[in-house]
Structure 1
Amino acid sequence: MPGLPNELTDQIIQELHSEHKSLKNCALVCQSWVVAAQRNLFTKLNVHERNVTEIVDHLSSGSPRIADYVQHLYIFLWGNLRVRANRMAVSEARPLLPHLLSQLSHFTNLKQLELDGCRVFHDKQWDVSWTDPLVAACPSLSHLNIQHITFQDIPDLVDLVSSFQTLKQLTAGELDVASASHEYSNEPQEPYEGSKVPPPLISKIQYASGHHFSSGTGPFLRWLAGGTLPLRTLDLCLDAEVGDVNAGVELIQSAGRNLEHLSLEFSDQWHLWEGFDLAANTSLRSLVLKSVDDFDSEIVEFLQSLTGPLEYLTLGRMDQIESDERRSLIEVLMSPAFASLTRVNLYTLFVGSEGLADEIANEHPEFLKRGIAFIESTP
């Protein structure tokens, strides 16, 4: 019987990209469906302690077919033991990356690499001997994600990131520096003084300060800020306890007029960001402040420092600031300086969103009548 055109079959199977069980079944229907099903099934490949041997054996075979389909490779450096961690498993864990290094060159279409140390292995460190063969195997990587990894010192982290010169997006979170002080984690760390420069194409950085067994990586953020990067998007969750706040502020300011999207959260009881404004970010179109109480009474002044044609604004924890400050904030958003706004999301934390909506409707009915403000409880 005549079959479906290949283009139609590919389109149907592509719609199932997130349904792994269905994709597996499609691969068993007939020979003509195998390639389309496997291409979608193996777009992302997770490597952990339970499958690493099988994957290495496949890659070592004469024709490692699935490697051509992988665009997103996620490697748990010492295994994925977050859920079932126990002392014996952690103490006996062996690094998985060395087993893969000689086979990584088979992933010819790799675009995104994630290296996850898993927070239960906070006492295990990145081995600098892994860096060069890893970079050699992934010469055209566009997105690097490093999570829950301990580096001996800042140069080891810089060497890893700087070696991927084609990077366009960098994601980093819960990193630690073993040589930094852990007794007083907010103590200033030694700055990076080497010659390595950040990858010149990075336009998006997502960074979250470490909280568990972490010293923070402020010198690494300052190294990024010192580069000439075309930064358009920054998503930063900064913790003063580990000394990252001021370094993150420098990174925002270094982006200058290139910056279009900023998402920001501080955990800073000392207000180390005093004097921070967005006057230099003249192209900013989207701003997310996850906790307006991070700025206390200075939230209004901070928003007034904006000079770009802001279109989208999100403010979280609106119920955590005083009524007078909230009133002043709404008045600022109604001013001609914010006439470019097309959507405003206001979130509450503990209080129901109806109460805040009623308060704003009573005091500033014209603000809600614009039809751009949406008030909800934090999901």
Structure 2
Amino acid sequence: MTIELPAELIDAILDHLARDFTSLKACSLVCRAWVVRSRSHLFETCSLAPNNIIGFCSLLHSCTFLHHIHSLDLFREVPHQNDHWFSDIDSLCRLTGIRVLQMTAKFVDASTLEQTFFSTKFLTAFPNVTHLVFSGLAHNALRQQLVPLLDMICQFPALQDLHIRRISPHLLFSATTAIPPRELCYLTLCTHSVGPILAWLHAAGHLRHVRSLKLPSMWHHEVPFANAAFGSTLNLHCLDIPLTWLLPPVQWRYAASPFFDLSLHLNLHTLILRDSTYPDDMMQALTRLDAPSLLECLAFALDLPSYRCFQWAALDAFLACPTRFPRLRNVVFIQTINYTVPKEDAFVRRVLPLLKSSGILHTKWLRLFET
């Protein structure tokens, strides 16, 4: 079959169909020239679980699309009758293109937890992973089980981006002297992981290498760890925190000052504030904001319907003041797509006329799985 369209245009069309697997499969049968591009989307992400691990390992010895697999979505249940297949390193090491590993572990038995998960050679099969997403779920019966999660992170020497999505309170981070991956600089942490991760990086002298940090609302016992870690000047470029961490001391009850002194983060250029609980405290927190002069982007991830009666005129005047943030170029309102997008977009632009006229006001709409 003769194709008259330029190769660049064909590639653009196939890229547009990236999530349409039915169409991609049909395109891969049109001609040989379309196969590689179609496969790059069809096999970019593979899912691996106890119920398909046997067939997956067998397939790895004969398939021709291994170099197209760049992301692995992994689910492991410990213990499981097929769990020993995850130690088939000869097969899994053929996945040399894996850069993103999304791993969910469900632990139901403490007696074999370390032997069947953390002590196997499975993790060493992916030395080129740069992005790790981890969720650890534990059965209630485990009763505060210590697990070597920090040592697990060190099994990925090329790791740059660590995303701890969820940690069961029954899983506790055991202490370690392991050195963090040298290139680790992006952190997204969840409740129960803030204290152990920050304390570990601080003790290893690695916290100064972190460029981007996203924190959840923390438990009372996690605050001292975070305070100790952030008591000195860091090289953060992007900080994503709940708005409540900027509230006055009266809101804290257990601290003499707000958690974040942003004046210490001299290179901070992006600040993302998340909140949907305290709309009345927004202005009080912002007026106390001692942001560095390099701040270029200020983003708000808010539940807009909860802010209908907010002091929008005061916020508009505050942010539009050129002397407040001299390098501010973008004020972004982030919203998940569970409301009518045009309606909310029009609302933001109507209540912030000064920012709108300055050209720095933007809106960003995310799907729920992107938040």
TM-score (norm: length of structure 2): 0.73
Shift of 1:328: 5.7
> 1: CA distance between counterparts of 2:288 and 2:269?
16
- 2:30, 2:135 → 1: CA distance? 38
Does residue 275 in structure 1 map to residue 231 in structure 2? no
CA distance in 1 between partners of 2:182 and 2:67 (Å): 27
Partner of 1:164: 156
Determine if contact 2:313/2:351 at 8 Å carries over to the other structure: no
1:174 and 2:161 aligned: no
What is the SS of the residue equivalent to 2:242? strand
Distance 1:371 1:105, change over 3 A: same
Q: Secondary structure at the match of 2:263?
A: coil
Q: Contact conserved, 1:236 with 1:263, CA < 8 A, in 2?
A: yes
Contact 1:198 1:224 in 2 (8 A): yes
Q: CA deviation at 1:168?
A: 0.7
The 8 Å contact of residues 211 and 236 in structure 2, kept in 1 or not, is answered as: yes
Partner of residue 198, structure 1: 180
* 8 Å CA contact 2:145, 2:171 repeated in 1: yes
Structure 1 unaligned blocks of 5 or more: 80-92, 181-190, 210-214
Where 2:103 maps in the other structure, the secondary structure is strand
1:232 partnered with 2:197: no
Deviation at 1:220, TM superposition (A): 2.6
Alpha-carbon offset, residue 146 of structure 1: 0.4
Distance in 2 between residues matched to 1:359 and 1:10, nearest whole Å: 42
In 2, Cα distance between equivalents of 1:5 and 1:39: 20
Q: Distance in 2 between matches of 1:38 and 1:347?
A: 33
- Mapped to 2, the partners of 1:56 and 1:338 lie a distance apart of 55
SS at match of 1:174: strand
Pair 1:127-2:135 in alignment: no
Alpha-carbon distance between aligned partners in 2 of 1:310 and 1:12, rounded to the nearest angstrom: 38
Q: Show the 5 A alignment for 1:307-346.
A: 307-315=292-300, 316-317=302-303, 329-335=315-321, 336-346=323-333
Note the C-alpha offset of 1:346: 4.7
Change (3 A) 1:203 1:300: same
Q: Which position in structure 2 is the counterpart of 1:48?
A: 49
Is the Cα–Cα contact under 8 Å of residues 311 and 340 in structure 1 kept in the other structure? yes
2:50 touches 2:83 (CA, 8 Å); kept in 1? no
CA contact (8 A) 1:278 1:302 kept: no
Any idea what the Cα deviations from partners look like across 1:206-239, whole Å, max 9, x if unmatched?
1222xxxxx5552233213443242222222233
Superposed displacement of residue 322, structure 1: 11
Q: What amino acid does structure 1 have at the position aligned with 2:180?
A: P
| Cα distance change on mapping 1:313 and 1:7 into 2, 3 Å | same
Comparing 220-229 with 306-315, which one deviates more in the overlay? 220-229
Q: What is the 5 A alignment of 1:1-379? A: 2=2, 12-31=13-32, 33-59=34-60, 61=61, 63-78=62-77, 94=80, 98-102=84-88, 103-117=91-105, 121=106, 123=108, 127-131=114-118, 132-150=120-138, 156-178=148-170, 193-209=175-191, 216=193, 218-226=195-203, 227-229=205-207, 230-240=209-219, 243-248=221-226, 256=234, 258-265=235-242, 270=252, 274-276=257-259, 277-291=261-275, 293=278, 296=281, 298-303=284-289, 305-315=290-300, 316-317=302-303, 329-335=315-321, 336-346=323-333, 366-374=354-362
SS in 2 for 1:106: coil
Q: Output the aligned Cα RMSD.
A: 4.1
AA in 2 matched with 1:18: R
Tell me how far apart the structure 2 counterparts of residues 284 and 164 of structure 1 sit (CA, whole Å).
28
User: Alpha-carbon deviation of 1:319?
Assistant: 7.6
Is contact 2:84-2:116 (8 Å) kept?
no
Shift of 1:252: 5.8
User: Once the 2 structures are TM-superposed, how far is the Cα of residue 67 of structure 1 from its aligned partner?
Assistant: 2.5
- The alpha-carbon distance between structure 1 residues 272 and 116, as it changes in their structure 2 partners (threshold 3 A), is farther
**Matches of 2:254 and 2:304, distance apart in 1:** 22
CA distance in 1, matches of 2:307, 2:253: 16
CA distances 1:146-172 after superposition (whole Å, capped 9, x unpaired): 014449756511110122221111111
Give distance in 2, aligned partners of 1:360 and 1:29.
52
- Partner amino acid for 1:29? V
- Shift, 1:264, TM fit: 1.4
1:159/1:196 contact within 8 Å kept: yes
Distance 1:37 1:95, change over 3 A: farther
Q: How many residues align?
A: 338
| C-alpha displacement of 1:112 | 1.0
The answer to whether the 8 A contact 2:27-2:38 is kept is yes
- TM-score between both structures, scaled by the size of structure 1: 0.72
Residue 175 (structure 1) shift = 0.8
C-alpha separation in 2, matches of 1:373 and 1:13: 33
Note closer, same or farther for the CA distance 1:252–1:193 as it changes in structure 2 (3 Å cut).
Answer: same
Which amino acid in the other structure matches residue 70 of structure 1? I
